[in-house]
Amino acid sequence: MSDSTPPQAPRPGHPVYVIGGGPGGLAVAAALRARGVRAVVLEKSERVGASWRGHYDRLHLHTTRRLSALPGLAIPRSAGRWVSRDDVIRYLEAYAEHHALDIVTGVEVTGLERTADGTGWLLRATGGRELTGSAVVVATGCNHTPRLPDWPGRDTYSGDLLHARDYRGPSPFSGKDVLVVGVGNTGAEIAVDLAEGGAARVRLAVRTAPHIVRRSTAGWPAQLSGILCRRLPVALTDRLAALAARVSVPDLSAKGLPRPDTGLFSRARQGAIPVQDVGLIDAVRKGTVEPVAAVEAFEEGKVVLADGTRIAPHAVIAATGYRRALESLVGTLGVLDEHGRPTAHGPRTPKQTPNLYFTGFTTPISGTLRELSRDAKKIAKKIANSHPSP
């Protein structure tokens, strides 16, 4: 249960601690600084944007440059409309410098509890550190810990098995038979990257048929449609999306990738965002990426699919998502749901934990960076309204 009323007055003389030096944490710190509130970012790696540094080489934003900037600094026009991974990293570094953010790297927060007087937060961190904050913003993000399913027989597989987090580019797989598991945006893009990069055969294991949308149609980005439709009735937006898909996306059923039987926005409400097409449609049509059934198990060196087929790829790349891994940090506070997601988000705080905020733990169809920026401003306003001026 969350509460949108003003929080208890934070402890004077103590900073707001922001846990996580990715886009969400940097945006909150900058928004707080703009309101005269001291914020300290605690980042467990040695540099900001650690998650972005670990993504594959081909990655570009699926949201436009203009609608992906964080508060107080535009992304340079030189980055183009669809910003690359490396340009995102450069932007985050420039953002921290531009706003003169107070960032402490190499420090991981391992525990969080209320102070004895109940007015602040005690953070326990590596190196035996104990820090007291007037408020805490958790911004460690959705892509925290790679999730690799515990498939039966997985440990007996003799080929290469890796999570998508460890994939950088196609060169190690040149001339090889590769199975990519998972047809989210990451899996779809890695499959295309492999097919274009010299893999001998690329198959894509699909459990649930995805919604596929064109990243841009006649110059109109899919992100804008997501923004405009957010407040419309879900049933209506599902119908509009289905109509748009029939016009812009070919029926790939004969190739093993049928149209989904649930609405795009209905599924987005459950956290499943559509696949932005960056080559998957053409690759499936040409047969360079072959959709197959979901993976069920590994047996005698082969991969067993849900339809009973057994295949023997040289490598399996699991684009099977991540865990938020918040349990060790806040699991005892009663602020997570049964799926490990925060029960309150943005400027709302759980009633039992005032001055504790979460940002970056959703995947909105309107664009993650855009919503991080909006959340940052709202969180900063909420904290500043109850935070004494320095």
**Is the Cβ–Cβ distance between 184 and 276 less than 8 Å?**
no
Give φ, ψ of 224 to 5 degrees. -65, -35
Over residues 48-53, mean pLDDT: 94
Q: In whole angstroms, give the CA distance from residue 382 to residue 390.
A: 16
Domain 2-144+324-384 coded CATH 1.20.1440.230? no
Over residues 98-123, mean pLDDT: 95
Residue 305's beta-bridge partner residues?
295
pLDDT for position 12: 55
Q: In whole angstroms, give the CA distance from residue 302 to residue 113.
A: 48
pLDDT band at 143 (very low <50, low <70, confident <90, very high): confident
SS3 state of residue 189: helix
Over residues 298-315, mean pLDDT: 96
**Two domains, one topology: 2-144+324-384 and 147-318:** yes
Over residues 321-325, mean pLDDT: 91
Q: Hey, what CATH topology would domain 147-318 get?
A: FAD/NAD(P)-binding domain (3.50.50)
**In the chain, what are the domain boundaries?**
2-144+324-384, 147-318
pLDDT band at 231 (very low <50, low <70, confident <90, very high): confident
Whole-number average pLDDT of the chain:
93
pLDDT for position 380: 98
**Is the Cβ–Cβ distance between 58 and 31 less than 8 Å?**
no
What pTM does this model have?
A: 0.91
Q: Report which DSSP code applies to 11.
A: P
Model confidence pLDDT, tens digit, residues 240-271: 999 989 999 999 999 999 999 899 989 888 87
Model confidence pLDDT, tens digit, residues 114-140: 999 888 999 999 999 999 999 999 999
DSSP 330-383: HGGGT-B-TTS-BSS-TT-EETTSTTEEE-S----TT-HHHHHHHHHHHHHHHH
Count how many residues are written for the chain: 390
